[in-house]
Amino acid sequence: MKTLLITGGSGLVGSAIKNIHKNYDYNFVFISSKDFDLTSFNETKKMYELYKPNFVIHLAGNVGGLFKNMNNKVEMLEKNILINYNVVKNAYDYNVEKLIACLSTCVFPDNVKYPINEDLLHYGKPHSSNDTYSYSKRLLDIHCKSYRENFNKNFITIIPTNIYGINDNYSLEDGHIIPALIHKCFLAKKNNLPFIVKGTGKPLRQFIYSEDIAKIIIYILEHFNEESIIISPPEKDEISIEFIANIIAKKFEYTDKIYFDEKFSDGQLKKTADNTKLNNLLNNFFFTPIEEGLDKTINWFIDNYNVLRK
């Protein structure tokens, strides 16, 4: 049985893969930051030497929401460059058969014709709110492509849109938009305070449930060998932050206390992704509807509040 190593194994997507891994015939190894410090080349080398993986799904990174990206630019750049270099270089040194490295749609140019596709990744500057994180991920893409071109390595990049689901980081300051809003609404109701959403609520996003992307990544491991692919629901499923906030408030029965604080930045107003390549590969994959995915996520959040990441 071949070994499939997953960095970021305790994170949102890593946990989702763990939830479905028994359906697949691999020796799964889930690595978290508690196991190895991937910013260290020697620690990363020890990981490869210990497990000698046939395949690697690289999900680990220093990640966060809009305001973490804006306020910690040096950290977002340096830590991600170190992690990505160490994982990719050792994947080559240890002759990994296939590496899948995870990017994000935030790496795309800010001023670009929509919808964005895989060919537009490096065609202009990313939005200033997350530029250093974006450049670290663009460099990861270049690193993988260089190994494909020079050494014929099957190193590919996946570009998911906004992921949400159970086992997320629900930090009010550093979490992504959905987990942060869930936590904020929960506390607002508990303390009888306004549910404050930073910004106008007008930015548009495509959201994908974590278990959906887990299934898609394993399918890509087994069936896709091109340079890169966007993982996203179709354009028609693009929705506003305001819409998301209202679904969350409705779940908590707190719709009369929403307030949008427009003195805060909205970040990038839209980054509509074209999922044509994915749709052709998967033949109309059924994405979990946002209402259903949020219902599962919020129920899990309430049940696990005392132990979840926040």
Check whether 66 has a pLDDT greater than 70: no
Q: Is residue 125 part of a domain?
A: yes
pLDDT value of position 176: 84
Q: pLDDT tens across 27-56, in order?
A: 999 999 899 999 999 999 999 999 999 999
How many separate domains does the chain show?
1
91-94 long-range CB contacts below 8 Å, 24 or more apart?
Answer: 91/48, 91/56, 91/58, 91/153, 91/155, 92/147, 92/151, 92/153, 92/155, 93/45, 93/48, 94/48, 94/49, 94/52, 94/53
Neighbours of 26 (CB within 10 A): 18
57, 6 Cβ separation under 8 angstroms: yes
Burial of 308 (0-12, 13-18, 19+ CB in 10 A): middle
pLDDT value of position 68: 66
Check whether 226 has a pLDDT greater than 60: yes
Quick one: average pLDDT of 178-196? 94
Q: Is residue 51 part of a domain?
A: yes
Check whether 171 has a pLDDT greater than 70: yes
Enclosing domain of residue 28: 3-164+207-234
Q: Is residue 124 part of a domain?
A: yes
Q: Is residue 215 part of a domain?
A: yes
Quick one: average pLDDT of 104-110? 83
Choose, from 26, 48, 133, 254, the residue flagged as catalytic.
Answer: 133
Q: Is residue 117 part of a domain?
A: yes
**What DSSP designation does 22 have?**
G
Q: Is residue 241 part of a domain?
A: no
Percentage of residues of the chain with pLDDT beyond 90? 71
Q: Is residue 138 part of a domain?
A: yes
pLDDT value of position 235: 86
Q: Is residue 148 part of a domain?
A: yes
Q: Under the phi-then-psi rule, with left for phi > 0, alpha for psi from -120 to 50, and beta for the rest, what region is 114? A: beta
Q: What is the mean pLDDT of the chain?
A: 91
133 included as an active-site residue:
yes
- CA-closest candidate to residue 240, choices 207, 195, 275: 207
CATH assignment at residue 138: 3.40.50.720
